[in-house]
Amino acid sequence: MAGQPHHTLDLPVFETPPKMLIVVAPYYVDIATDLVDGAQAELTKVSAKVDLVKVPGALEVPTAIGIAFRQAEYDGFVALGCVIRGETTHYETVCDNSNRALQLLGVEGACIGNGILTVETLEQAAVRADPGNENKGGGAAAAALHLIALKRRFAPPESEIRSAQVSGFS
């Protein structure tokens, strides 16, 4: 329902600050800057260690996250960018495929906050990206942090991990 307040969960508390990767597509640079600013501000609240990489467009964001998920040591990821509807079906292709790829990575265990805006106009994007307004970059960062906290909560105790490695089950 329009105009209804949204419930926002308190940020999780971490004993060990998470290491985060923000992947942004700065195709609309002003929107991307606001999204990154919002995400970084949220991650600072939990003392996260943050790296930032830029990719050409929204379709490349999931690929970059997939590479980092498989080859680097990050606890979580923040996907940022903006897709604005144009006159062709390219909008649907980019929105559907970038979202699906991020969801598949999440099902594989990647803790991803999806802040790729899918909007009709640049004005809508500006409102959603603005850290002082809808702050979708901050919301995506918070989502990733909640998934990291959940993953840590359900992780086997350290002694069970070492025991499995010693027994040859790793």
Centre a 10 Å sphere on the Cβ of residue 12 and count the other Cβ atoms it contains.
16
Q: What is the mean pLDDT of the chain?
A: 93
Whether residue 69 lies inside any domain: the answer is yes
Closest CA to 17 of 51, 44, 53: 44
Centre a 10 Å sphere on the Cβ of residue 95 and count the other Cβ atoms it contains.
18
CATH number at residue 146: 3.40.50.960
- At 160 the pLDDT is 60
Whether residue 84 lies inside any domain: the answer is yes
Q: What is the pLDDT of residues 152-162, one digit of tens each?
A: 999 988 766 55
Percent helix, percent strand, percent coil in the chain, to nearest 5 = 50, 15, 35
- At 88 the pLDDT is 87
Count how many domains the chain has: 1
Query: Residue 166 pLDDT more than 90?
Result: no
Closest CA to 62 of 121, 92, 34, 21: 21
In angstroms, rounded to a whole number, what is the distance separating the alpha carbons of residues 10 and 24? 25
User: How many CA atoms lie less than 13 Å away from 123 in the CB half-sphere?
Assistant: 0
Whether residue 26 lies inside any domain: the answer is yes
Q: What is the pLDDT of residues 5-37, one digit of tens each?
A: 788 999 999 999 999 999 999 999 999 999 999
In angstroms, rounded to a whole number, what is the distance separating the alpha carbons of residues 50 and 68? 13
Indicate whether this model's pTM tops 0.75: yes
Q: What is the pLDDT of residues 60-111, one digit of tens each?
A: 999 999 999 999 999 999 999 999 999 888 999 999 999 999 999 999 999 9
* Containing structural domain, residue 64: 19-166
Catalytic residues: 90
Whether residue 95 lies inside any domain: the answer is yes
Query: Residue 4 pLDDT more than 90?
Result: no
- Return the ∠ at Cα 48 (arms to 161 and 56), rounded to 5°: 100
Whether residue 6 lies inside any domain: the answer is no
According to DSSP, the β-strands at 49-54 and 19-24 are parallel
